[in-house]
């Protein structure tokens, strides 16, 4: 873990909280360049009715626009939940230098499912992916889905 990882995961968690207020699955992401947040993203699948409206996608797209390049080689993406295969592939395509996530996703996370695209020697870009356990990242998801289940029972 690097010294700023927790602070940037907290910023991603702020985005996840915004998503929860919008009744979206609470996942948030921040893109960091040269030690500063240059873009944020949060899940918006329900609001936009888009299957690809994941937090990571929004942060990568906003960061590319802000930095004026789709090549995000000097950027680190912080995300509250382990990226799915689509989002990990987007990080590979964006050429990020590192991804850090705060909660594992055994049913949907790329690494948990064995899709280690970030270190696949057959690809033209490899990058670091680090899990930094941040209990609040998993806790917000647990609370969100518990609330959903309870509202269905009522």
Q: Which residue has the tokens 């590192």?
A: 98
Structural tokens at position 97: 């230098």
Task: State the catalytic residue, choosing from 15, 56, 82, 134.
Answer: 56
Cα distance between residue 126 and residue 91, in whole Å = 10
Pair 90, 57: CB distance under 8 Å: yes
Structural tokens at position 60: 């990568």
Annotated catalytic residue 133? no
Handedness of CA 96, 98, 102, 103 (dihedral sign): positive
Q: Which residue has the tokens 């970030």?
A: 118
Residues belonging to the active site: 56
């Amino acid at each position: 873990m690097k010294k700023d990882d927790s602070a940037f995961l907290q910023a991603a968690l702020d985005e996840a909280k915004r998503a929860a207020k919008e009744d979206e699955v609470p996942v948030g992401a921040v893109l960091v360049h040269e030690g500063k947040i240059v873009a944020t993203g949060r899940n918006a699948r329900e609001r936009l009715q888009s299957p690809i409206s994941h937090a990571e996608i929004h942060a990568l797209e906003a960061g590319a626009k802000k930095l004026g390049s789709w090549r995000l080689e000097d950027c680190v993406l912080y995300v509250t939940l382990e990226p799915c295969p689509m989002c990990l592939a987007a990080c590979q395509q964006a050429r990020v230098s590192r991804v850090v996530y705060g909660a594992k996703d055994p049913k949907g996370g790329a690494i948990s499912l064995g899709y280690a695209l970030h270190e696949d020697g057959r690809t033209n870009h490899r990058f670091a992916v680090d899990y930094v356990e941040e209990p609040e990242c998993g806790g917000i998801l647990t609370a969100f889905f518990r609330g959903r289940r309870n509202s269905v029972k009522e």
